[in-house]
Structure 1
Amino acid sequence: MGHSLRSSVMTAASPVTAERAAPVISPGPLVPVADFGPLDRAQGWVMSGVVAGLATVTRFLNLQSPTDAGTPIFDEKHYAPQAWQMLHNSGVEDNPGFGLVVHPPVGKQLISIGEAIFGYNGLGWRFTGALLGVIMIVVVARTVRRISRSTLVGGIAGVLLAADGVSFVTARTALLDGILTFFVVAAFGALMVDRDQVRERLHYALLEGRIAETPWGPRLGVRWWRFGAGVLLGLACATKWSGLYFVVFFVVMSLALDVAARRQYRVPRPWLGTLRRDLGPTAWAMLLIPPAVYLASYSMWFASETGVNRYEVGRSIGERAWYQPPDAIRSLWHYTYKAFEFHSGLTNAAGNHHPWESKPWTWPMSLRPVLYAIDQENVPGCGAASCVKAVMLVGTPAMWFIAVPVLLYAAWRMVVRRDWRYAVVLVGYCAGWLPWFADIDRQMYFFYAATMAPFLVMAIALICGDILYKPGQTAERSTLGLIAVCCYVALVVTNFAWLFPILTGMPISQATWHMEIWLPSWR
């Protein structure tokens, strides 16, 4: 009887025991949080206006100085006169006597706009670069605001970039690297808007029950921001060929973001969905549009009678066979090949050395800057017997000297924490840096690192955001974090102010000049 009683008790209790033993799995949110960008639009535009004002003051202050006795300095001597010739020759370079017509036309055509407005002087040939430098700072501020969801962090990014020596000098000299950087950063910003737009469309598809209609998910419609990124990347390539590096990196990044979006919104087969729905449109927008824009940039060259190498068919090129492209395309290919031949021949092995040359492993910390101009003879204006006026492209040490730990932290966040924000910033940084390791023998300069500067600033701004908005921190720790970030931003601005004389060619004493040179490699 006792046995049967125990059996009946166990039998009665078994459903409860089994229910308690079963693991409880929380279903989580049925719909991902509808987060498609910052919502404080008024504050965001106020921040953008303040950053734009700060950038305008720094970029345009005494922009016309210095010059080399009224002529351009450093490599401005190539691009300023070529732009001037384009201005007076229907947008075409026709003088092979320059000997260095080795870059596509867009950058020089943009420089010519300032020369058309202000004439052939320092303000004229630098105006466009300075204007694009101001716009780029605003684009960076708004892009960081978007990916961090914080207007404050976006403002920090804008202030830091305004106080970066590399971006500052690049914007104030008539070289092509600043224009290239603008187009690259603008394309990156467009892709970040595209990322949010994709999630917004998937969100509404989920609410409407269309996510699982097919294994690969819904179509996303026309993605105009991605199309715009393709146009901007085409303009980057039509400024300097190194824009092609960003085309490759950004295509991979865009597809990776598409896979992540389809996984987040529970598309049954996200990888297949990306291959079926997104690969073709991405290839069209970012692999076909850039070459089309590149060819379009040569439209005035195609229409010209005197453009360099315009009519090479029948001269250095044989007559066209039936299977070959039109003569104009063949002439452009010859023109392009001659430029490529020039660049590929600039190697150390061929005896091409420059006192301010540097290799890419020195760029992250700005270990070997570039001296654009220096005058130490009979220079007045500093209150000393002998003054120095110099322009040096050098990164603000408070940011560039910490680049290695910043990049390591960003990589840790990307790999361990799966933080997409740091991942996309690293993609942009590496696109401007890693490809240069493929040909170390080539003559290289630190100004090639101009494209790296905005992405370094983005990473630092995101770290500041992590300090400000660390989850679960007390009010006291939050206040300490705010103080730390404020002190760091103040340090960067102070560091920039200290370097300001050698970034702008202001007259300083020999003693001050020696104090400005922080490292032996800066000499």
Structure 2
Amino acid sequence: MTTTADDLVAHPRRAPVISPGPLVPVADFGPIDRIEGWIATAIVTALAALTRLMNLGSPTDAGTPIFDEKHYAPQAWQMLHNYGVEDNPGFGLVVHPPVGKQLIAIGEALFGYNGVGWRFSSAVLGVVLVLLVVRIVRRISRSTLVGAIAGLLLIADGVSFVAARTALLDSFLTFFVVAAFGALIVDRDQMRERMHIALLEGRIAETPWGPRLGVRWWRFGAGVLLGLAFATKWSGLYYILFFGLMTLAFDVAARRAYRVPRPWVGVIRRDVGPTAYVFGLIPFAIYLASYAFWFSSETAVNRYEVGQSIGERQWYQPPDAIRSLWHYTYKAFHFHATLTNSAGNHHPWESKPWTWPMSLRPVLYAIDNTNVPGCGSASCVKAVMLVGTPAMWWLAVPVLVFTMWRAFVRRDWRYAVALTGYSAGFLPWFADIDRQMYFFYAVPMAPFLVMAIALILGDLLHAPNQGAERRTLGLIVVSCYVALVITNFAWLYPVLTGIPISPMTWNMEIWLPSWR
């Protein structure tokens, strides 16, 4: 039977429709090599414990804390002996929330008022931080090897290393922030898995805005952790904002990927309310709970301020305890707000945020060069400096440029999340340049810089459609770079730990004039 032109007009042939991408996302909800993953994690974490805990009690200032440890170690000790309450009698003002000092107090309760005691909690959480980064990068990259590389890089990062071995609040802030970040990455995978199940069950298009995703315990946990970050330092607020927007972006992307008819409306109807609860009410409740000892005290600073410096409560005002806490908090805020250069507040080791990405102006925590034995010279130098390992930090600008290109041009979510965490610790500080600032504010940026570098190394190792020679070359490049970072860290080790060195070696450790 022949086909005429009239037949073709009457019965036109249907051309096949070829989708530009998969109609259903690949069912990939996390790495599957669990045993290998935990073995690699355990090995890297053991190395972290060795570096963070070895000779933890040194150095001290003749048995007393060094640098800003002089604020927090005594306050933590006071908490142990004053029913959990601090009043900072040596400085007259408590300028940070209590959680970090409560954690320092745990170590002091175990080991006493000494270097090990006031640094123990920070060191333990510094070890766990390495574990978290291994697991997070492994999940983001879907590669146990890349996760292990990230852990090794973080171990060899001078900033993270010194922060873990000193009793300052930034190490605790960093731990809570990274833990919350990891919880949100797990939540992302879990929600996409639930969307996949809903698709297989035919529930995606039951409503124009997609299915409900159930209780999200990982996201709830992130809210608790961010509350603890906020109750450690107020800069935790920045991460609440950035991570809240990040998790909403995850929800939009998931609903679009699974062909929800109206994904944006779906996020507004299904996700915005719970997100506001998790990133608003939960952190605020955790923050208030951190002051439980203050609320229960009869003698805490400003505890009963109503009727003294503030007036009696009106019917529309919160309870007296909350008003007193507000006054207590305002005094601390006023201290921070007036700690400006224009008001005459200067410090020889202060720095501005544009110097932080490359660690151009580190912080000298301690130095002793008078009659110091132990290096073979007539007099040695013992110093502890918070400085980033140059093999990583000096690459920050090209790394960030490449990360932004991958995030915004190639729309690679892996780089986007690393950039989000880094930006939360960096960009907000530009809002008040006049304020006195220090490089240790950049401690929370370090894990996210490491994540970005590890992702780049992972792409060198696992680039698609590469031949055997290209894979071998990538392996050589990555191996050489990791070895360079570890060697660089080993070179700086004496000025990260206070090991006595000769004046000549000290001068060789100072690579830039701005390090002096």
Between the aligned partners of 2:44 and 2:84, the Cα distance in structure 1 is 34
Indicate which of 367, 370, 375 corresponds to 2:363: 370
Other-structure match for 1:244? 237
1:318 CA displacement: 1.2
Indicate which of 476, 501, 505 corresponds to 1:512: 505
Between the aligned partners of 1:14 and 1:322, the Cα distance in structure 2 is 83
Other-structure match for 1:102? 95
Other-structure match for 2:58? 65
Other-structure match for 2:385? 392
1:493 partner letter: I
| 2:71 equivalent to 1:78 | yes
1:99 partner letter: G
Larger Rg: 1
TM-score by length of 1: 0.96
Between the aligned partners of 1:477 and 1:295, the Cα distance in structure 2 is 55
* Alpha carbons of structure 1 residues 359 and 95: separation in structure 2 relative to 1, 3 Å: closer
Other-structure match for 1:11? 5
1:89 CA displacement: 1.1
Other-structure match for 2:150? 157
Corresponding residue SS for 2:381: strand
| 2:259 equivalent to 1:266 | yes
1:442 partner letter: R
Corresponding residue SS for 1:433: helix
1:13 CA displacement: 9.1
Matches within 5 A, 1:113-124: 113-124=106-117
| 2:130 equivalent to 1:129 | no
1:29 CA displacement: 4.0
* Alpha carbons of structure 1 residues 148 and 9: separation in structure 2 relative to 1, 3 Å: closer
Indicate which of 213, 223, 230 corresponds to 1:220: 213
* Alpha carbons of structure 1 residues 9 and 97: separation in structure 2 relative to 1, 3 Å: closer
1:25 CA displacement: 2.1
Q: CA RMSD in A?
A: 1.6
Asked whether the equivalents of residues 95 and 308 of structure 1 are also in contact (C-alpha less than 8 Å), the reply is no
Between the aligned partners of 1:371 and 1:24, the Cα distance in structure 2 is 65
| 2:452 equivalent to 1:459 | yes
1:94 CA displacement: 3.5
Aligned length: 515
Between the aligned partners of 1:482 and 1:75, the Cα distance in structure 2 is 42
Asked whether the equivalents of residues 382 and 498 of structure 2 are also in contact (C-alpha less than 8 Å), the reply is yes
Asked whether the equivalents of residues 78 and 100 of structure 1 are also in contact (C-alpha less than 8 Å), the reply is no
Indicate which of 424, 429, 432 corresponds to 2:425: 432
Q: Write out per-residue CA displacement over residues 339-381 of structure 1, whole angstroms, 9 at most, x where no aligned residue.
A: 0000011000000000000000000000000000000000000
Between the aligned partners of 1:367 and 1:172, the Cα distance in structure 2 is 21
Q: Write out per-residue CA displacement over residues 155-210 of structure 1, whole angstroms, 9 at most, x where no aligned residue.
A: 00000000000000001000000000000000000000000000000000000000
* Structure 2, unaligned runs of 5 or more: none
Asked whether the equivalents of residues 96 and 308 of structure 1 are also in contact (C-alpha less than 8 Å), the reply is no
Indicate which of 330, 334, 347 corresponds to 1:341: 334
Between the aligned partners of 1:95 and 1:255, the Cα distance in structure 2 is 41
2:5 partner letter: T
Other-structure match for 1:418? 411
2:200 partner letter: L
Corresponding residue SS for 2:358: coil
1:12 CA displacement: 7.0
Corresponding residue SS for 2:367: strand
Indicate which of 164, 167, 173 corresponds to 1:174: 167
Corresponding residue SS for 1:230: helix
Corresponding residue SS for 2:139: helix
Other-structure match for 1:3? none
2:367 partner letter: I
Between the aligned partners of 1:27 and 1:331, the Cα distance in structure 2 is 61
* Alpha carbons of structure 1 residues 487 and 13: separation in structure 2 relative to 1, 3 Å: farther
Q: Write out per-residue CA displacement over residues 212-258 of structure 1, whole angstroms, 9 at most, x where no aligned residue.
A: 00000000000000000000000000000000000000000010110
Other-structure match for 2:182? 189
Indicate which of 470, 478, 483 corresponds to 1:477: 470
Percent identity of the aligned residues? 78
1:28 CA displacement: 5.5
Other-structure match for 1:138? 131
Other-structure match for 1:361? 354
Between the aligned partners of 1:39 and 1:450, the Cα distance in structure 2 is 32
Between the aligned partners of 1:371 and 1:448, the Cα distance in structure 2 is 14
Q: Write out per-residue CA displacement over residues 433-488 of structure 1, whole angstroms, 9 at most, x where no aligned residue.
A: 00000000000000000010000000000000100000000011001101110110
Asked whether the equivalents of residues 302 and 324 of structure 2 are also in contact (C-alpha less than 8 Å), the reply is yes
* Alpha carbons of structure 1 residues 17 and 232: separation in structure 2 relative to 1, 3 Å: same
Corresponding residue SS for 1:484: helix
Between the aligned partners of 1:326 and 1:455, the Cα distance in structure 2 is 41
* Alpha carbons of structure 1 residues 477 and 110: separation in structure 2 relative to 1, 3 Å: same
Other-structure match for 1:406? 399
Between the aligned partners of 2:79 and 2:117, the Cα distance in structure 1 is 14
1:319 CA displacement: 1.1
Between the aligned partners of 2:481 and 2:7, the Cα distance in structure 1 is 64
1:293 partner letter: I
